[in-house]
Structure 1
Amino acid sequence: MSELPAELVPPAQLPWLKRLVARLLGRGLSRLSAQHRDSWFHGHVAGQRSGHGEGLREGFEQGHEQGLEEGRQVVVIRDTRPDEHGVPGVDDYLFDNWKPGLTAELKKRIKADVAARLPAAAQPSAAQWKLIFSDTPSTCVIAGAGAGKSTSLVLRLLVLHHYLGMELDALTVVTFTRESRKDFINKVLQVFGLWGYSLSARQVREVVRTFHSRILPLVRSLPGFAQLRAFENLSNQAPLPGAEEDADSNPFDLRLNDAQRQQMNLCYRDLMQSSERFAELIGLLRRQALQLKELDRDHPDVQKRVAVTELSARRDEELCDLIEDLWFNAGAWPIKGIEPSRETVDINGSRFHFHGYIPEMDAWVVLGFDPSQDPQMKRPGAKLPVWAEWVIKRTLFQAFCPKPVIWLENYAQARRLLASLAADAVAGPGFDYKVKGELVSAPLLDCFVGAAGFIENLGLDVHAAVGRMSFASEDSDRLFFEALSLYWKAFEAHLLNQAPPVMTYNRMFALFGENNPENLRQLSDEVLRPLSHLMIDEFQDVSPQIVSWLRATLREIRSRGPQLSVGRVAQYSSLLCVGDDWQSIYGWRGSSPKYFMEFARQFPSPATTRVMLADNFRSHQHIIDAAEHLVRSAPAITGKKARAAGPQPEVLTPVRVLDRDDETMALTVAEHYQQGDSILLLFRKGSDRAAAVEHLQGLLQRDQARPAAERQIKQLTYHSAKGLQADAVFLLGDCQHVTRSPYKNQVYRLAGLGKAGEAEAYDKAQQDETLRLAYVAVTRAVSHCYWYVEPPVKDTPAQPRASDHVAGDKPFFDDLRASTV
Structure 2
Amino acid sequence: MSQHRPDLPPDLLPLAQMPWFKRLAARFFGHGLTRLRAQHRASWLHGQADGFRSGHTAGFDYGFSEGKAEGLEEGRQVLLIRDSRSTEHPAPKVDDLLFDDWRLPLTADLKKRMKADVARLLPAHAQPSNAQWKMIFSDTPTTSVIAGAGAGKSTTLVLRIVLLSQYLGFELGSMTVVTFTRESRKDFIEKLISVFSLWGRAISVKEARDLVRTFHSRILPMVRSLPGFERLQAFETLSHRTGTDDEDAQANPFDLRINDAQRQQLNACYHGLYQRDERFRELIRSLSRHALQLKELERDHPDVQKRMAVTELAAQRDEALSDAIEDLWFRAGAWPIKGVEPKRERFEINGSRFFCHGYIPALDAWVMLGFDPRENAQLSRPGAKLSLRAEWAVKRTLFQAFCRKPLIWLDSYEEAKRVLASLAGNATAGPGFDYKIQGELGSAPLLDCFVSAAGFIENLGLDVPDAVGRLCFSQDDPDRHFFEALSRFWRGFEDHLLDQSPPVMTYNRMFSLFSEHSPENFKLLDDALLRPMSHLMIDEFQDVSPQIVSWLRATLGEVRKRGPAMHVGRSAQRTSLLCVGDDWQSIYGWRGSSPSFFMDFTKQFRSPAHTRVMLTDNYRSHQYIIDAAEHIVRAAPSIPGKKAKASGEALSPSPVNVMERDDEGLARRIEEHYRNGDSILILYRRSGDKSLIQKYIEPTVNVDSSLPYAQRRLRQMTYHSAKGLQADAVFLVGDCQHLTRSPYKNQIYRLAGLGQEGDAEPYDSAQRDEILRLAYVGITRAVQHCYWYVDGQDSQAANAPKASDRIGVGKPFFIDHRRARG
**Structures share a fold, TM > 0.5?**
yes
Structure 2 partner of 1:746: 747
The one-character-per-residue Cα deviations of 1:619-673 (angstroms, maximum 9, x if unpaired) are 0000000000001110011000000003x32111000000000001100000000
Structure 1 partner of 2:771: 770
Structure 2 partner of 1:26: none
Deviation at 1:245, TM superposition (A): 5.4
Q: Distance in 1 between matches of 2:384 and 2:278?
A: 50
Structure 2 partner of 1:29: none
Instruction: Give the counterpart letter for 1:652 in structure 2.
Output: P
Judge which range, 491-500 or 466-475, deviates more. Answer: 491-500
Instruction: Give the counterpart letter for 2:177 in structure 1.
Output: V
Q: Distance in 1 between matches of 2:246 and 2:438?
A: 39
Question: Which structure 1 residue ranges, 5 or more long, are not aligned?
Answer: 21-44
The answer as to 2:632 corresponding to 1:630 is yes
Preserved contact between residue 521 and residue 556 of structure 1 (Cα < 8 Å)? no
Judge which range, 139-148 or 80-89, deviates more. Answer: 80-89
Q: Distance in 2 between matches of 1:230 and 1:107?
A: 44
Q: Distance in 2 between matches of 1:165 and 1:789?
A: 54
Structure 1 partner of 2:129: 125
2:645 to 643, 646, 664: 643
The answer as to 2:148 corresponding to 1:144 is yes
Structure 2 partner of 1:403: 405
Deviation at 1:819, TM superposition (A): 7.5
1:239 partner SS:
coil
Distance 1:535 1:8, change over 3 A: farther
Preserved contact between residue 216 and residue 247 of structure 2 (Cα < 8 Å)? no
Structure 2 partner of 1:693: 694
1:681 partner SS:
strand
TM-score normalised by the chain length of structure 2: 0.91
The answer as to 2:482 corresponding to 1:485 is no
Q: Distance in 2 between matches of 1:766 and 1:712?
A: 33
Distance 1:167 1:352, change over 3 A: same
Instruction: After TM superposition, list the pairs within 5 Å mapping 1:415-814 onto structure 2.
Output: 415-646=417-648, 648-794=649-795, 797-814=798-815
Structure 2 partner of 1:346: 348
Structure 1 partner of 2:208: 204
Q: Distance in 2 between matches of 1:794 and 1:14?
A: 127
Judge which range, 272-281 or 716-725, deviates more. Answer: 272-281
Preserved contact between residue 281 and residue 479 of structure 1 (Cα < 8 Å)? yes
Pairs aligned (count): 787
Deviation at 1:274, TM superposition (A): 2.0
Judge which range, 195-204 or 788-797, deviates more. Answer: 788-797
Preserved contact between residue 236 and residue 250 of structure 2 (Cα < 8 Å)? no
Q: Distance in 2 between matches of 1:8 and 1:90?
A: 73
1:101 partner SS:
coil
Preserved contact between residue 623 and residue 779 of structure 1 (Cα < 8 Å)? yes
Preserved contact between residue 685 and residue 733 of structure 1 (Cα < 8 Å)? yes
Q: Distance in 2 between matches of 1:382 and 1:768?
A: 55
Q: Distance in 1 between matches of 2:520 and 2:614?
A: 37
Q: Using the aligned pairs only, state the percent identity.
A: 64
Instruction: Give the counterpart letter for 2:496 in structure 1.
Output: H
Q: Distance in 1 between matches of 2:621 and 2:729?
A: 11
Q: Distance in 1 between matches of 2:101 and 2:453?
A: 41
Distance 1:795 1:753, change over 3 A: closer
Structure 2 partner of 1:362: 364
Instruction: Give the counterpart letter for 1:693 in structure 2.
Output: Q
2:309 partner SS:
helix
Preserved contact between residue 735 and residue 803 of structure 1 (Cα < 8 Å)? yes
Deviation at 1:792, TM superposition (A): 1.6
Judge which range, 618-627 or 396-405, deviates more. Answer: 396-405
Preserved contact between residue 408 and residue 414 of structure 1 (Cα < 8 Å)? yes
Deviation at 1:229, TM superposition (A): 0.8
Q: Distance in 1 between matches of 2:569 and 2:2?
A: 82
Distance 1:621 1:16, change over 3 A: closer
Judge which range, 525-534 or 231-240, deviates more. Answer: 231-240
Deviation at 1:335, TM superposition (A): 1.0
Q: Distance in 2 between matches of 1:796 and 1:435?
A: 19
Q: Distance in 2 between matches of 1:350 and 1:122?
A: 79
Deviation at 1:76, TM superposition (A): 4.4
1:187 to 187, 191, 208: 191
Distance 1:343 1:125, change over 3 A: same
**Alignment RMSD (CA, Å):** 3.0
Q: Distance in 1 between matches of 2:140 and 2:191?
A: 25
Preserved contact between residue 343 and residue 358 of structure 2 (Cα < 8 Å)? yes
Structure 2 partner of 1:40: none
Preserved contact between residue 233 and residue 502 of structure 2 (Cα < 8 Å)? yes
Judge which range, 663-672 or 215-224, deviates more. Answer: 215-224
1:111 to 94, 112, 115: 115
Distance 1:355 1:228, change over 3 A: same
TM-score normalised by the chain length of structure 1: 0.91
Q: Distance in 1 between matches of 2:353 and 2:726?
A: 61
Q: Distance in 2 between matches of 1:761 and 1:166?
A: 43
Q: Distance in 2 between matches of 1:819 and 1:321?
A: 57
Instruction: Give the counterpart letter for 1:607 in structure 2.
Output: A
Q: Distance in 2 between matches of 1:504 and 1:329?
A: 44
Preserved contact between residue 232 and residue 249 of structure 1 (Cα < 8 Å)? no
Distance 1:488 1:794, change over 3 A: closer
The answer as to 2:409 corresponding to 1:375 is no
Q: Distance in 2 between matches of 1:408 and 1:9?
A: 134
Structure 1 partner of 2:41: none
2:555 partner SS:
helix
Q: Distance in 2 between matches of 1:8 and 1:395?
A: 135
Distance 1:188 1:796, change over 3 A: closer
Preserved contact between residue 326 and residue 369 of structure 2 (Cα < 8 Å)? yes
Structure 1 partner of 2:227: 223
Distance 1:710 1:349, change over 3 A: same
Q: Distance in 2 between matches of 1:394 and 1:461?
A: 43
